[in-house]
Amino acid sequence: MSGGVPAGEGELLRAAPREFTITRLLAVPVPDVWAAWTEPEQLARWWGPEGYTNPVCRIDPRPQGPIHIVMRAPDGSEYDNRGTVQSVDPPRSLVFTIELKNPDQSSRLINLTTVELTEDGSGTLLRVHVRVLHETADAAPDIAGMHAGWSQSLDRLAAPVPRP
**How much is the average pLDDT of 50-76?**
97
Phi, psi of 106 (to 5 degrees): -75, 160
CATH number at residue 71: 3.30.530.20
**70 in any annotated domain:** yes
**9 in any annotated domain:** no
Query: 91: cis peptide before it, omega within 30°?
Result: yes
pLDDT digits (tens, 9 = 90+) for 116-127: 999 998 899 999
Kindly list the distances between the CA atom of residue 7 and the CA atoms of 2, 112, 147, in Å, as whole numbers in the listed order: 9, 24, 30
What sign for the dihedral angle of Cα 54, 142, 128, 66? Answer: positive
**164 in any annotated domain:** no
Number of domains present in the structure of the chain: 1
**7 in any annotated domain:** no
Q: In which domain, by residue range, is 147 found?
A: 14-158
**163 in any annotated domain:** no
Percent of the chain whose pLDDT exceeds 90: 76
**123 in any annotated domain:** yes
**4 in any annotated domain:** no
Nearest residue to 11 via CA among 116, 124, 88, 102: 102
pLDDT digits (tens, 9 = 90+) for 107-156: 999 999 999 999 998 899 999 999 999 999 889 888 988 999 999 999 99
Phi, psi of 162 (to 5 degrees): -60, 140
Pair 46, 156: CB distance under 8 Å = yes
**112 in any annotated domain:** yes
